[in-house]
Amino acid sequence: MSDPSEPGNHEYIEFILSDEGIVDWKDVAYLNGQNECRNIGLRKIVENAFPYIKDMYGEIKNPIKIIIHTGDRPDYDVKKDKNTIEFQTISTTYKDDLFPDYIFGDWWHIGLTDFDKFTDDISTNCIKTIPIYNRVFWAGNLQNIPQRLQYKHISKLYPNAIQCLTIKWKSPSEPTKFVKIRDLGQWRMIIDLTGYGWSGRLKMLPFCKRPLIIANRKFWGWSDFMILKTKNFYMANKDLSNLIQIVNYINTNTTKAQLKADNLYNYVSEKFKFDNVCKYAADIIVKKMREIEKIV
């Protein structure tokens, strides 16, 4: 089976935006729809963004085709004409037209169908939880991803500082083990590691109000860049060579570390509200529509 991150394995949604609304949806997903929540989530964002698009743009006289890539890495190899708007959800560097990823709309594999309710539950549960493990924690499927394998290796060398829970998926919604994000408050520190190209969970971890370590990587989403701008986290090297140093620093500077966690929580609590995400999506769609006006 080929790797979905390789060129040629395209994942995107395509739709027509008209004055009446959104019509003619087309989903192009890898592996015969196993990533269907990506399409569901992005549809939800676009549909809720439409009223804001109308308010900002006015009458849409000529229908416009919009393509939003949904894969784990950027994908530019899609045929399009001058009347087509294209968005990436993943990038190597910050771009002001990067589209919010699907998880804001739906990630039913982990029980997320309403982002605001899901993250409210995370923060409510974690805030009332006193940490019982003075370690940094990560749980997930190793998937032969080098950074995750390295983290597992380090956890064996430093079991009192690093904890790794390996999870395997029997199906897209049935893991062998599962630790809900709402339960991460049991650990004093949490870390985010990359996936094949990016990490879907990073935007939710600040809601835990725990010092957050982010392992460096090549690909980031829009919400990731928003978090990076705050500097209210700790950046580990891509190879995790400074991870133990960071953990030791947090343990000896607990007040400063918690202040960073609190500041980051306050930021995402407003920035990542679903309605604000949809307003941002509407803004960048309208910006592209205005660009088309100048060309056509």
pLDDT in tens, 251-284: 999 999 999 999 999 999 999 999 999 999 999 9
Residue 34: predicted pLDDT? 53
Can you give the pTM of this predicted structure?
A: 0.92
Q: What is the CA radius of gyration of the chain?
A: 20
* Pairwise pLDDT comparison (52 vs 76), residue with the higher score: 52
| Range scoring the smallest mean pLDDT among 65-74, 96-105, 120-129, 212-221 | 65-74
- Per-residue pLDDT band for 171 (boundaries 50, 70, 90) equals low
pLDDT tens digits along 192-214? 999 989 999 999 999 999 999 99
Residue 7 has what pLDDT? 45
pLDDT attached to residue 37: 83
Task: Give the pLDDT mean for 105-121.
Answer: 95
* Among the ranges given (104-113, 140-149, 175-184, 207-216), the one the predictor scored with the smallest mean pLDDT: 175-184
Q: Which of 157-161, 173-177, 179-183 has the lowest mean pLDDT?
A: 173-177
Quote the mean pLDDT of the chain: 90
Least confident of 117-121, 173-177, 269-273: 173-177
**CATH 3.40.50.2000 intervals, the chain:** 113-271
Question: In the prediction, which pLDDT does 170 show?
Answer: 63
CATH, domain range 113-271:
3.40.50.2000
Identify the pLDDT of residue 3. 44
Section 96-105 average pLDDT: 96
Contact indicator for 101, 39 with CB cutoff of 8 Å:
no
**Contact call for residues 247 and 253 (beta carbons, < 8 A):** no
Q: Between these two residues, 176 and 101, which has the higher pLDDT value?
A: 101
Strands (E), the chain: 12-18, 21-28, 64-69, 84-87, 90-91, 133-140, 162-166, 169-171, 174-175, 187-192, 212-215, 220-221, 234-236
In this predicted model, which residue has the larger pLDDT, 49 or 167? 49
HEC secondary structure over 92-108: CCCCCCCCCCHHHCCEH
The mean per-residue pLDDT over the stretch 176-185 comes to: 87
pLDDT attached to residue 6: 46
